[in-house]
Chains A and B, each alone.
Chain A
Amino acid sequence: MAASRRQRLGLWLVLCTCLLTAAAAVDADNDDVQVSGTGHDNAAGGPTVPPGTGEQGAGRTPETEDRRWEATQEEVEVVVEEVQQAGDQDQDQDQVVDPPSEPPSRDDFKEELVIRPLHSGDIYASFQFRTVWDTDFLGGQKVSHYRLFPKSLGQVITKFSVRELHISFTQGYWRTMQWGQPYLPSPPGAELWVWFQDTVTDVDGTWKELTNVLSGIFCASLNFIDSTNTVQPSASFKPLGIGNVTDHRFLRYATLPREIVCTENLTPWKKLLPCGSKAGLSVLLKSEKLFHSTFHSQAVHVRPVCQDPHCKTTSLELRQTLNVVFDLHTSGQGKREWSLFKMFSRTLTEACPLASSSKVYIDVTDNPQGEQFDLSPATPLLSQAGVLGDRRTYSVYDLTQQATFGPTRSLNTLLRWKSPEGDMLGPLLHSERYVAGYGLQTGEIHTLMYNNHPYRAFPVLLLSTVPWYLRLYIHTLTVTSKGKDNKPSYIHYQPSKDRERPHLLEMLLQLPPNSVTEVTVEFERALLKWTEYTPDPNHGFYVGSSVISALVPSVVAMDTNSTLERPLFNSFFPCKEETSYFMRIYTEPLLVNLPTPDFSMPYNVICLTCTVVAVGYGSLYNLLTRTFQVEEPSPGLAKRIANVIRRMRGVPPL
C-alpha cells in the first residue's frame, strides 16, 4: 500500500510540472489546444487521464481545472500513456482501500435506505443510490472513461444529448390515503420522461431511438412507446436539475400503464450500481422477497446538478431508487414485527466500499418515547429532516462505522410493535379517479382531488393523457369544488389524432381549503380495426395515471438551499420557497372496455359486404345493359331434338 501511495505521488509531481509548462501554451491559443485535444481524444479513444490523477484539481477554480485538463490531454499524453497502467492498478487498489479517507473524488457514490413503518402496519423501505459525477456532460465533449458512473447509461446520455432522464418501473399502486406520501412518487407501470438538450434537432426521432435503447438496457417493453402515447406537457414536468429550460419542445413524456415489472427489470437495474449486488445496501435486493410485496417501484433519475453553492460548474447526478412496501400482515404470521432479515432475507454486513456514505434511516417520529414500537439494536444517532412539509426524526445507522455492526458483524434491525395500529393524519392532498357510465358507447372520467388542509388553498397542476381511442369532448369538461364551478386558470389541451397522438389535458386549478374538487370529462369509445386490439381485447385498455403536481403548504419551514448536505430522500425535488413544498401524486390508471368486432369474422364480413355491394352493382348493371323484350317461349325438349335431327337430314326445322 505504501508503494502505491508513493507511485501516486510521483504521478502527481509529473502532472504538476507538465501543467506549469502547458498553462502558458494554453493561454496563447486556447482554441487550438481544445480542438486538437478533442480530436485526439476521438481518434485514439483510449488514452485519457485516469481519474485518479485528476482528482486533486477540485480545490482550484473551475477555469484552471478545465485548462489543466485540456493541457494534460495535449501535452502530457506521452507521460500519461507511460503511467497509464500504473495508474489503473493504483486506482483498483485504491478502491478497495478505505474509501472515506480518499481525497475528494471526481465521482461520488452514496447509498441509503429509509424505512418507514406505516400506520396500516405495512413497512415502507426506500433505497436510494446516488452517483454524482463532476463532469461537464452537457458541453458535448466526448467522455470515454468511466469509473463509478455506469458506462451504458453514460453513453446513452451522450449519444442522444439527454439533459435529464427519469424512468420508473412500478408494480402496484401507491395508496396515498393509507400510506401517506412516498419519497419519490411513480405511477403503476413504466414511466419515462426526458428533457433533451436544445441542440437536438429531430426530437421525435431521437426519442424513438432512445426508448428502443432504454428498452434494451432495462429489459422492458419501452419500445412500445410511440407517438400514440407520447406527449409534451407544457407545465407539469419541469426539469428537476439545473437549467431553466422551459421550451417543452425538448420534453417527452410517456407512460406504459400495462408494463409488468419483474426480476428481469431488477437485474439490469442492479448492474448499474457500482457495487452491483455484492456489497452494501444492495445485498438486500433479492428479487424473491422484493417482488413478494404490495408495492414495488424502481427508478433511475439522471439530471445535471450544481457542483458548488454558486453553481459555477455542473455535475451529472444519477439516482437509482427502489421503493418497496411489504405487507407484514400476510407474511408476518400474525405477529406485528419486522426485521431486515424478515423483509429481505439478508442482513447488512458492510457498506459498499466505493460509497462515501452509507446509511440506514428509520423513521421514529411517531415513536418519541418508544410507546408504539421497540427498535433494536438501539442507535444513539438521531437525525431530523424536513420531509414533505413535516419534520421527521430518524434513527440513523451509519454503515461505514464498524461499531454499527456490533459483535455479530451484521446489522439486523428489528422493530416490534407494542400497540395496535396508530392513527395517521390523512395526507394533505390525495386523489381518486374512476370511469363512470355504463355500456360501451360513452363514458365519463371523474378525477377527485382532496385538499385536506383546514384553511389554506393551494394550486395544483393536473395532467391527463388519454389515448386517442377514447375520444374526449372538451366541451363537457366540468370542474366543481364545494358544489360550485371552479374555473381553471390555465388550460392546455391538445386534441388527439387517430392512430397518431393521444389527448393531452393540463389544467391549473386552485383547490379550496378542506374540499373535494371533481373534474369530469366525457368520452366516446371508438371501434378499432380488428388488428389494433390487444390479444386479450375484453380485458380492456389501460389509460395511464393522471399526474397531479402541487405546491402544498408545509407545516414546517422547508430548507431551500439545495447544496447543503442532506439525506438523499428529501433532496430530490428542488424546493423554491420555505412555506410550501412540491409534491407529485399519481392517480389510479383506468381500465376501459372498448366495443369489439368479432375477431373470427374477417373473411365472412368481407364476403358478405362484398355480396351486398355486388347485389347493388348487379341489379343496376342488369337494368342498365339489358332491354325489355317480349319473351318467346323456348320450344320443348322433344321439338328441339327433332329439329337437330331434321337439320342433319337437311330438312327445314319444324
Chain B
Amino acid sequence: MAAPLTLLLIVAVTIRAALFRSSLADLISERVEVVSPLNAWKRVVEGLALLDLEISPYSGDVFHETPLVIYLFHFLVDYAEITFMLADCLTAVALYLAVKDYNKQVFRKQRYALEADRYPMDCLELIRSPKEMYYIPLKVAMFYLLNPFTILSCVAKCTCGLNNAVIALFILSTIRGSALLSAIFLALATYQSIYPLTLCVPALLYLLQRLYIPVNVQRSSFWLYTLQYLFMFLGSLFILVGLSFFLLGSWDFLPAVYGFILSVPDLTPNIGLFWYFFAEMFDHFRLFFLCVFQINVFFYTLPLSIKLKEHPVFLIFMQIALIAIFKSYPTVGDLSLYLAFLPVWNHLYRFLRNIFLVSCVLLACSALFPVLWHLWIYAGSANSNFYYAITLLFSVAQILLVSDYFYAFLRREHHLTNGLYLKKKDGSEATLVLK
C-alpha cells in the first residue's frame, strides 16, 4: 500500500509545484473563494512586513492570523511553498493512516456483531467486505490531494491548509487512541480558528468508546476520563495562548483574531453566508443576527452527539462539514477536508437520495463563481446579487450533501437492526419514512 501512496504524493506535489511556477499562481491567490481575509497569504506577508517595520501586526486590521503562525513564517517565509505542500501531504498521510485504522476497527466490530448474530438475515448485502474497504484509505488521500479545491488552496498559500493538517493530525491521534496528542492537536486547531472546539465532544466519545467506558453520567470513571481529557485540552489551549502572549508581549491578538472571527467586520465576499447578509443587515439587528449565526455553528454539537454517540467518527465528519458550511469566513480549503471523508462512507451510497443533483450543483457553482465574479467586479454587467445567488446555491448544495449523508447513515443503521427488506403487516413491501 505504501507504493501507491508514494506515487500519489509525488503526483500531487508535481501538480502543485508546476502551478506554483505558472502565472496562474498570482491569479489564484487573489480569488475570494480560495482565500479569505482570515487566511490569505498576502496578509501573512503584510503581517511580516509590519513586524519588520516594528509595528505590531495586530495594530491594523489587515492581519488576523494567530501569533504562532506569524512566528512560524518568520522563519519559513522563504520556504512557504514547500511548507504548504508538506502540510497538504501531511494531511493526506494522516487521513490515510487514520482511515486505515478506523476501517480496521469497523471491520472488527462488524465481525463481533456477525459472530454474535446481531444482524438480521437479509442484511448480508450491507455487510462490508475487506476487499471493498482495502482501497478506501488511498481514496481518502487521493480525494484530499487531487481535489481541485485543495490544489487551489495550496497554490494560493492559504493558511487553511495548515489548519487542515492540524485537524487531520487530531483525527489520527484520536483514532490511534492517544488522548494527550489528540487534546494537544485539538487545542492547536481551536487556537487557530475557534470552531474546531466542537470536535471536542466526538473525540471524547471516541476515546471513551475505545476504553469501553460507557457514557453514563452516574459512572465516576466517565467523569474522571472526561475531566482528564478536558484538562489536557484546556491546559494546552492555555499554554498556546500564554505562549502567544509571551511572543507578542500583548493581548492585542485576542480581539484581532477571535474578535474578528466572531464579529465579522470584514465583508469581503466569500463562499459563505455571512458577507452579504451582514452587508445588507439593518444596523440595529446586526448583533442579534450575529449571535444567531454564530450560535448556529456550535448548536448542532449537542443533538448530533446524542444521536451519533455510537459513531464518533461520523460525528467528526458531520461537525467538520457543518463548520465549513456555517463558519464566518469559509474557503474552499475547508470544504476539501470534509470532502476527503466521502470515500469512507462509500457504503452509504445506495441510500443517498440526491447525490447526483447535489454534485451537479456543486460543480456548476464552482464553475460559475469566477464567471459571476468577473461580471460583477470587472465587467460591471452584473451586480452583487449574481455572486450572492451562487454562494447561496453552493451553501444549499453543501447542506443537502451533508444531510443526505446523515440520512443515509441513519437509515443504514436502522436497516442493520431491523432488516433490509421490511414487510408490512399484510406481507407487502413496506416503505420507510421518517416520523
Quick check: is B268 within 8 A (CB to CB) of the other chain? yes
Question: CB distance A630 to B276 under 8 Å?
Answer: no
Given contacts A474-B53, A601-B385, A631-B433, contact A623 B406 (CB under 8 A): yes
Least CB separation from B388: chain A residue:
A605
Question: CB distance A613 to B273 under 8 Å?
Answer: yes
- Chain A contacts of B217 at CB under 8 A? none
Quick check: is A24 within 8 A (CB to CB) of the other chain? no
Question: CB distance A597 to B434 under 8 Å?
Answer: no
8 A Cβ contacts from B277-335 to A: 277-283, 289, 293, 296, 300, 303-304, 307, 322, 325-326
Quick check: is B62 within 8 A (CB to CB) of the other chain? yes
Quick check: is A499 within 8 A (CB to CB) of the other chain? yes
Quick check: is B384 within 8 A (CB to CB) of the other chain? yes
Partner of A493, one of B42, B53, B435: B53
How far, in angstroms, from A627 to B385 measured CA to CA in the complex? 39
How far, in angstroms, from A605 to B274 measured CA to CA in the complex? 11
Least CB separation from A474: chain B residue:
B49
Stretch at the interface among B83-91, B179-187, B206-214, B375-383: B375-383
Quick check: is B245 within 8 A (CB to CB) of the other chain? no
Question: CB distance A630 to B422 under 8 Å?
Answer: yes
Partner of B266, one of A493, A498, A612: A498
Stretch at the interface among A119-127, A195-203, A299-307, A435-443: A435-443
- Chain B contacts of A442 at CB under 8 A? 30
How far, in angstroms, from A503 to B424 measured CA to CA in the complex? 72
How far, in angstroms, from A471 to B50 measured CA to CA in the complex? 14
Quick check: is B126 within 8 A (CB to CB) of the other chain? no
How far, in angstroms, from A499 to B411 measured CA to CA in the complex? 50
Quick check: is A602 within 8 A (CB to CB) of the other chain? yes
Quick check: is B14 within 8 A (CB to CB) of the other chain? no
Stretch at the interface among A158-166, A177-185, A523-531: A523-531
Question: CB distance B276 to A597 under 8 Å?
Answer: yes
Question: CB distance B384 to A612 under 8 Å?
Answer: no
Stretch at the interface among A129-137, A424-432, A614-622, A642-650: A614-622
Question: CB distance B434 to A612 under 8 Å?
Answer: no
- Chain A contacts of B122 at CB under 8 A? none
How far, in angstroms, from A602 to B410 measured CA to CA in the complex? 38
- Chain A contacts of B431 at CB under 8 A? 630-631
Question: CB distance B434 to A626 under 8 Å?
Answer: yes
Quick check: is A89 within 8 A (CB to CB) of the other chain? no
Given contacts A598-B383, A608-B392, contact A623 B61 (CB under 8 A): no
How far, in angstroms, from A274 to B423 measured CA to CA in the complex? 105
How far, in angstroms, from A627 to B273 measured CA to CA in the complex? 30
Partner of A628, one of B30, B32, B395, B433: B433
Least CB separation from A471: chain B residue:
B62
How far, in angstroms, from A468 to B62 measured CA to CA in the complex? 10
Question: CB distance A616 to B399 under 8 Å?
Answer: yes
Quick check: is A475 within 8 A (CB to CB) of the other chain? yes
Question: CB distance A602 to B280 under 8 Å?
Answer: yes
Binary CB contact string for chain A from 220 to 264 against chain B (1 if under 8 A, 0 otherwise): 000000000000000000000000000000000000000000000
Quick check: is B48 within 8 A (CB to CB) of the other chain? yes
Question: CB distance B377 to A496 under 8 Å?
Answer: no
Question: CB distance B430 to A630 under 8 Å?
Answer: yes
How far, in angstroms, from A111 to B169 measured CA to CA in the complex? 79
Question: CB distance A617 to B62 under 8 Å?
Answer: no
Question: CB distance A623 to B407 under 8 Å?
Answer: yes
- Chain A contacts of B425 at CB under 8 A? 632
Question: CB distance B61 to A609 under 8 Å?
Answer: no
Binary CB contact string for chain A from 632 to 647 against chain B (1 if under 8 A, 0 otherwise): 1000000000000000
Quick check: is B60 within 8 A (CB to CB) of the other chain? yes
Question: CB distance B399 to A602 under 8 Å?
Answer: no
Question: CB distance A629 to B433 under 8 Å?
Answer: yes
Least CB separation from B273: chain A residue:
A609
How far, in angstroms, from A494 to B56 measured CA to CA in the complex? 10
Quick check: is A606 within 8 A (CB to CB) of the other chain? yes
Size band of the B side of the interface?
35 or more
Quick check: is A341 within 8 A (CB to CB) of the other chain? no
Question: CB distance B296 to A617 under 8 Å?
Answer: yes
How far, in angstroms, from A623 to B400 measured CA to CA in the complex? 12
Question: CB distance B280 to A597 under 8 Å?
Answer: yes
Quick check: is A595 within 8 A (CB to CB) of the other chain? yes
A260 to chain B, nearest CB (A): 27
- Chain B contacts of A623 at CB under 8 A? 307, 403, 406-407, 410, 434
- Chain B contacts of A382 at CB under 8 A? none
A250 to chain B, nearest CB (A): 21
Partner of B62, one of A473, A531, A601: A473
Question: CB distance A475 to B48 under 8 Å?
Answer: yes
Quick check: is B45 within 8 A (CB to CB) of the other chain? yes
How far, in angstroms, from A608 to B278 measured CA to CA in the complex? 13
B203 to chain A, nearest CB (A): 20
Question: CB distance B53 to A491 under 8 Å?
Answer: yes
Partner of A527, one of B273, B279, B433: B279
Binary CB contact string for chain B from 32 to 55 against chain A (1 if under 8 A, 0 otherwise): 100000000010011011100101
How far, in angstroms, from A225 to B278 measured CA to CA in the complex? 26
Least CB separation from B383: chain A residue:
A598
Given contacts A475-B45, A626-B434, contact A602 B60 (CB under 8 A): no
Question: CB distance A439 to B378 under 8 Å?
Answer: yes
Binary CB contact string for chain B from 397 to 414 against chain A (1 if under 8 A, 0 otherwise): 001100100110011001
How far, in angstroms, from A491 to B434 measured CA to CA in the complex? 67
How far, in angstroms, from A493 to B52 measured CA to CA in the complex? 12
Question: CB distance A527 to B269 under 8 Å?
Answer: yes
Given contacts A473-B46, A474-B49, A626-B434, contact A595 B281 (CB under 8 A): no
Quick check: is B432 within 8 A (CB to CB) of the other chain? yes
Quick check: is B178 within 8 A (CB to CB) of the other chain? no
Question: CB distance B377 to A595 under 8 Å?
Answer: yes
How far, in angstroms, from A612 to B433 measured CA to CA in the complex? 24
Question: CB distance A626 to B435 under 8 Å?
Answer: yes
How far, in angstroms, from A590 to B78 measured CA to CA in the complex? 36
Given contacts A493-B55, A495-B55, A499-B265, contact A597 B384 (CB under 8 A): yes
Quick check: is A596 within 8 A (CB to CB) of the other chain? yes
Which of A597, A619, A628 gathers the greatest number of chain B CB atoms within 10 Å?
Answer: A628
Least CB separation from A621: chain B residue:
B303
Binary CB contact string for chain A from 484 to 497 against chain B (1 if under 8 A, 0 otherwise): 00000001011111
How far, in angstroms, from A348 to B153 measured CA to CA in the complex? 74
How far, in angstroms, from A616 to B401 measured CA to CA in the complex? 10
Given contacts A468-B61, A474-B53, A623-B434, contact A628 B325 (CB under 8 A): no
Question: CB distance B281 to A529 under 8 Å?
Answer: yes
Least CB separation from A495: chain B residue:
B60
Quick check: is A624 within 8 A (CB to CB) of the other chain? yes
- Chain B contacts of A595 at CB under 8 A? 269, 376-377, 384
- Chain B contacts of A628 at CB under 8 A? 410-411, 414, 418, 432-435
How far, in angstroms, from A608 to B425 measured CA to CA in the complex? 44
Quick check: is B369 within 8 A (CB to CB) of the other chain? no
- Chain A contacts of B307 at CB under 8 A? 623-624
Question: CB distance A526 to B267 under 8 Å?
Answer: yes
- Chain B contacts of A622 at CB under 8 A? 434
How far, in angstroms, from A47 to B157 measured CA to CA in the complex? 75
Question: CB distance B46 to A474 under 8 Å?
Answer: yes
How far, in angstroms, from A550 to B383 measured CA to CA in the complex? 45
- Chain B contacts of A531 at CB under 8 A? 283
Which of A473, A498, A605 gathers the greatest number of chain B CB atoms within 10 Å?
Answer: A605
Question: CB distance B279 to A529 under 8 Å?
Answer: yes
B422 to chain A, nearest CB (A): 5
- Chain A contacts of B411 at CB under 8 A? 628
How far, in angstroms, from A471 to B42 measured CA to CA in the complex? 12
Question: CB distance B62 to A612 under 8 Å?
Answer: no
A528 to chain B, nearest CB (A): 7
Q: List 9 A-B contacts (CB under 8 A).
A: A496-B61, A529-B281, A597-B279, A606-B289, A609-B276, A612-B273, A626-B435, A630-B422, A630-B433
7 closest residue pairs by CB, A with B: A495-B60, A475-B49, A619-B403, A626-B434, A605-B280, A439-B378, A630-B430
Q: Apart from A499-B265, A616-B325, A627-B435, what are 4 other A-B pairs with CB-CB below 8 Å?
A: A601-B385, A602-B281, A616-B326, A628-B414
